[in-house]
Structure 1
Amino acid sequence: MRHPEYQYLDLMSHVLENGDERTDRTGVGTRSIFGAMVRFDLSGGTVPILTTKRVYWKTAVKEMLWFLTGGTNIQPLLRENVRIWTDWPLATYRRETGDEITQKAFEQRVVEDDAFAARWGELGPVYGKQWRRWLGADGKEHDQIAGLIRTLRENPSSRRMLFHGWNVSELEEMALPPCHMVYQYHVTSDGRLNCLLFQRSVDLFLGAAFNYVGAAALQLMLAQQAGLKPGELVWVGGDVHLYLNHIDQARLQLLRKPRPFPQMKILRHSVSIDDYRIEDFEVVGYDPHAAIHGEVAV
């Protein structure tokens, strides 16, 4: 059987060789295709943590746990040593104050100074806010995650088990509109939980690996909360692109041969979706190639 990671590598090769080269919002430039799909089977305990480069899976899981809190400030992330969201508030701070503060100094101030964090660490109503506190036209907040879990338990044959983050009325307030924007779930007759994640825009070199891990971790949590078994993770991409400053890194990654996917385990049964901690997750058998670094386009 062909290693499932080749789906990702084949997609990267296709974008690299056939992508439409064009300018983009960041000014860096991309090679882009429109429309792609990969499928990963989680039922045997394995999860799609890419092996052709090291993926810092704990960072991806910590980010997902932060989303589930409904939080929108980077301070809790930085206290967990997660720096993947710093670029956007840092750019805003530099632009509005003229202070060319270093990223390290900015992050330290956010961690240590609550008032500074409240002013400059906010990202606006991004993912978690929409997932847990979507503001309806009626003025009420709607917890999409709680509603999803309730339906998984009570009506698993429903075709309405999904949540999304594209709240049109609040897009302009977000540091970055949601990329992985719709998660839909499906339960088979033998109790397997499947997920389809639609991602409108994906940085294929840097972002996709984290999105696969975060979605898989969420699927394991939801399955546990609903008394189900993990099934298939189906990822669908809209604008799938490689930034032009990641071309050499992509070519290097394509030279590497995938190694076996690891297994991810949740070590205890949490009382609710809000009770999980990073210490509850264990990854076994992860033996990746060396990390390949690339700059985030902001």
Structure 2
Amino acid sequence: MPEHQYLRLVSDILEKGDQRNDRTGVGTLSLFGAMMRFDLSNGQIPILTTKKLSYRLAIREMLWFLSGDTNIKPLVEQGVSIWTDWPLAHYQAETGEKLTKKEFEARILDNDDFARRWGDLGPVYGRQWRRWQGSDGQVYDQIATLIETLKTNPSSRRMLFHGWNVAELKDMALPPCHMVYQYHVTSDGRLNSLLYQRSADVFLGLPFNLVGAAALQAMLADQAGLALGDLVWTGGDVHIYRNHIEQMKEQLSRTPRGFPTLQLKSHPDSITGYTIDDFAVTGYDPYPPIKGAVAV
């Protein structure tokens, strides 16, 4: 089962991880440098089965990135709360008002001025992917350039995009964790991808990142008229937060099942034309969910 790669990584971190203090104050067990490879050519998508994953949230997040938006309001409108903790923490620190997450999201939905002021995350993923501001004054759409190159020069070794814009890191609510995506087209027309993730929260973040990367690869292949190949994931600081250790041990006790399959139901004119309803996932048979708190 390809999911064994993930479980081996978890086991390695629990056995050999360096105990480290971190920015959040929670603390981690950390390894430096890891890799996993998933074959997507048969339609399988790496949605973990050893705990139930809300994979549609991960796909919605990827569609939000591709839209170029940096405000959480479109996510909250779809019931996606995975980015709310950061602007909420900023709001509480700045104003002293201890709104709950639900109260904060209600204000985001009900008040456009409030959403513009407190719901924006700064120049995070969508801004860098679709509207990178160059020192020459031009704005660069890395995704559009990638798709054009996939179509016209698929043997290029320059088919990549990234989000680590040094000049704007200070203005981001959270600097990009999944920061570099590179693509490779085989001679028989299969699209491979490699994702480098500088920082990977193995319990909560990494499972979402794998789904998002696979969904993105499927959309890019569809736009460029290519078949799917491998998704290669590589991580830098790969860690388990100390308040997730027992959850990870529980997950390790479960025997993985086969990954589900993904099929795109439409072929829009552009990569921004996909909606969540275009992603048909079948055969997903997970264990029950395991909950854990986000470290902000």
Q: TM-score range by the shorter chain?
A: over 0.9
Offset of residue 237 of structure 1? 0.2
In structure 2, the residue matched to 1:202 is 200
The count of corresponding residues between Structure 1 and Structure 2 is: 296
Structure 2 counterpart of 1:109: 107
Within-5 A mapping of 1:62-211: 62-211=60-209
CA RMSD of aligned residues (A): 0.4
> 1:27-55: CA deviations, max 9, x gaps?
00000000000000000000100000011
| C-alpha separation in 1, matches of 2:110 and 2:223 | 35
1:295 to 273, 280, 293: 293
User: Following the alignment from structure 1 to structure 2, what is the Cα–Cα distance between the partners of residues 197 and 246?
Assistant: 24
- The equivalences for 1:7-46 within 5 A come to 7-46=5-44
Distance 1:285 1:231 in 2: 20
Q: How many Å separate the matches in 2 of 1:199 and 1:186?
A: 18
1:180, CA displacement in angstroms?
0.1
Deviation at 1:112, TM superposition (A): 1.3
Cα distance in structure 1, aligned partners of 2:131 and 2:217: 20
Is residue 2:287 matched to residue 1:277?
A: no
Letter in 2 for 1:292: I
Equivalent residue letter for 1:191: G
Q: 2:266 is matched with which residue: 242, 265, 268?
A: 268
CA distance in 2, matches of 1:58, 1:183: 21
- Amino acid of the residue matched to residue 206 of structure 1? L
* Identical-pair percentage: 66
1:62 deviates by 0.1
Question: Which 5+ residue runs of structure 2 have no aligned equivalent?
Answer: none
Q: 2:247 is aligned with what amino acid?
A: Q
> For the residues of structure 1 that align with 2:80 and 2:227, how far apart are their CA atoms?
29
Tell me which of 228, 239, 242 is aligned to 1:241. 239
Q: Which residue of 2 aligns with 1:60?
A: 58
- Whole-angstrom CA distance in 1 between matches of 2:183 and 2:130: 17
The whole-number CA distance in structure 2 between the counterparts of 1:125 and 1:161 is 22
- Residues 82-128 of structure 1: per-residue CA shift (max 9 Å, x gap): 00000000000001001001110100100111000000001000000
Q: CA deviation at 1:243?
A: 0.1
Q: 2:219 aligns with which of 218, 221, 224?
A: 221
Q: Secondary structure at the match of 1:236?
A: strand
Q: Does 1:259 align with 2:264?
A: no
The separation in 2 between residues aligned to 1:149 and 1:23, in whole angstroms, is 40
Q: Distance in 2 between matches of 1:276 and 1:70?
A: 14
Letter paired with 1:172: K
Q: CA deviation at 1:60?
A: 0.1
Runs of 4 or more off by more than 6 Å in structure 1? none
Q: Structure 2 CA distance, aligned partners of 1:275 and 1:154?
A: 21
CA distance in 1, matches of 2:44, 2:12: 26
